[in-house]
Amino acid sequence: MARTIKGNEYAIQSYIFTTAKYDFNAYEKRIMYRLVEFAQDEIRGIMIRDNLHKITPTLFGREITMPVADILRNEKDQNYTIAKNAFRSLAQKGIEYEDDEIWQYTSIILSPKIDKIKGFVIFTVVDDIWKCLLDFTKGYRKYELITAMQFKSVYSMRMYELLSGQTRPLDCSFEVLKERFKLKDKYKLVGHFKARVLDIAKKELDESSPYSFNYTELKEGRKVVGFRFFPTFNPDNQDPGLQKTEQRSKLTASAQISQQAYDYFRFSFEFSVAEINKNKKTIIEGEQTIPDFIGFLASIIGPSRTAKNRIGYVVNAIKKQTAESNTKR
């Protein structure tokens, strides 16, 4: 069965999913990547891209229709054995998320059904999961969708999500990593975890990803308690088409607006490139003046969704906060 995949694009994933605790295999992760893509399209107002994909709001969340081949890496799937196993397994799993304020466990999909004649799968994404896919208030990670889809190891996928766009060293405790990857009862020896998780992920990222990492151990005395990851960037592995598209779309604003702020306006507030450029003076002044500008943007996402003129609301909120910040100087 041929894999039907459109041109590469950047996927913007909520940091809730990047740091959530779950145990997926590679096929289940590819289903999740497709859900990220669907949610991103909904944010952009693109409900149906073609005749093969469909998002339908329901009482419980979103009904998704897509080709089964979307989760394959050019493999042949006789009698849909791979797909059936992947969707059955994912339907039996949930995602656990916890921070300083909340703990939540949520089932992911309901009632997957494969049309073996047409090669489609239909299933429901639970509303809480869909909201998590759309929720950027906890931050987000940006990665190349096709690159993420083509990894063989699920640990490569997780590390790629965690490190995409990361510019500073990242410290993670051994126990937190095991919890996130649902490996609490496996790889109790640090050496086994390094060999079977980190080193496998690093090898695959080095070979085919624009983002990879080096790492060192963090110790308390002689005991290894965590790892410090040093992000690396390999431009030779970056999709040249995506790079050109990104450069063209940001030509007038990119030199003065940070990447993180730019992505917030594009994907969280649904500004078009033209709208960013039209309001770039306000955005630039806000970013230069407002302490924790990204935190401020996160705080107005919710109210902006109910505003009659969302763009006007965001721009005016920035102007007001900039003025208040200037008076405090």
SS3 call for 275: helix
Of 138 and 107, more confident:
107
Query: Residues near 290 by Cβ (< 8 Å), separated by ≥ 6?
Result: 296, 318, 321, 322, 325
Q: What is the dihedral of CA 263, 266, 268, 270, to 10 degrees?
A: 180
Mean pLDDT of 191-213: 91
Cβ atoms of 84 and 121 within 8 Å: the answer is no
Of 241 and 223, more confident:
223
pLDDT at 260 over 50: yes
pLDDT at 20 over 50: yes
> Rounded to two decimals, what is the model's pTM?
0.52
> Distance of alpha carbon 179 from its chain centroid, rounded?
19
Task: Provide the terminal-to-terminal Cα distance of the chain, rounded to the nearest Å.
Answer: 63
pLDDT at 100 over 70: yes
| Residue 95, H or E segment | strand 94-98
Q: What is the pLDDT of residue 10?
A: 47
**Count of alpha carbons within 13 Å of 279, Cβ hemisphere only?**
22
Alpha helix positions (H), 235-309? 240-249, 259-263, 273-278, 280-289, 293-299, 301-305
In one letter, which amino acid is 118?
A: K
In one letter, which amino acid is 180?
A: R
C-alpha angle 97-266-253 in degrees, rounded to nearest 5: 135
Instruction: Tell me how far apart the alpha carbons of residues 139 and 61 are, in angstroms, rounded to a whole number.
Output: 23
Mean pLDDT of 74-94: 87
Q: What is the pLDDT of residue 214?
A: 94
Of all residues in the chain, what percent are helix, strand and coil, respectively (each to 5)?
Answer: 50, 20, 30
Q: What is the pLDDT of residue 208?
A: 83
Cβ atoms of 149 and 33 within 8 Å: the answer is yes
